[in-house]
Each structure stands twice: as structure tokens, then as C-alpha cells.
Amino acid sequence: MAVDWFGYGYAALITIGGFVGYAKAGSVISLVAGLMFGIAAFVGAYQMSKYDKDIWVSLGTSGSLTALMGVRFLSSWKIMPAGLMAGARQEYFIFCSWLFIYYI
């Protein structure tokens, strides 16, 4: 498989979101979570670039963030940032799930 540009873009979105959360609200938790999940997503994208069937890190990262941000969206009903990020993560989760079904 070629380089997983979609996965790297997703990882960059997570990382940038952590920095934006810290810059706007001073939330250290957003910064730490953004960096941790961003690094995990970069590792997942790297693994998917090397071997098509190695989607577990990407699938786990996107699934857990979809659940986390979905709960935050349902508690606040604010599109930014929780709704937007939950939607983006859900799309990536669906993409990784499709890859899993396709390659097995």
C-alpha cells in the first residue's frame, strides 16, 4: 500500500486540536491528550503504510476518540470542538473498519 496520507492527516488534526485546546482554553489535559492520541495515530498511519492489514492501532485510536468526543458532544451539544472531532474520528473509524473487512 502507498503512504497512508489520510491517516497522517487525521493524526495531524488530532495533534493540532490538542494545541488549539491549550491555546484557547489553557487546558493542559487537551494538550496532553492531543499529543498522546496524535502520536498513537501517527504510529497507526505508519503501520498502515508499511503493511495494509496492520490497522489495530489506528482502529483503536479512532474508536476510543470517537466514543470520548461523542460523549462530550452529547453532554454539551456544541459542534465545536466535540461534534466536529467526533464526526471526523467516526469517519476515520469507518475507513479503518472498511480496510479491515476488505483485506481479510
Q: What is the pLDDT of residues 15-30, one digit of tens each?
A: 998 898 899 889 899 8
For residues 70-88, average pLDDT: 72
> What is the domain range of residue 66?
5-103
pLDDT in tens, 66-78: 788 778 777 877 7
In the chain, how many domains are there?
A: 1
Q: What confidence tier does 37 reach under pLDDT thresholds 50, 70, 90?
A: very high
The fraction of the chain above a pLDDT of 70, given in percent, is 86
Q: At 76, phi and psi to the nearest 5?
A: -110, -25
| Amino acid sitting at position 57 | V
pTM, to two decimals:
0.76
Fill in the amino acid letter for 17.
Answer: G
The mean pLDDT of the chain is 81
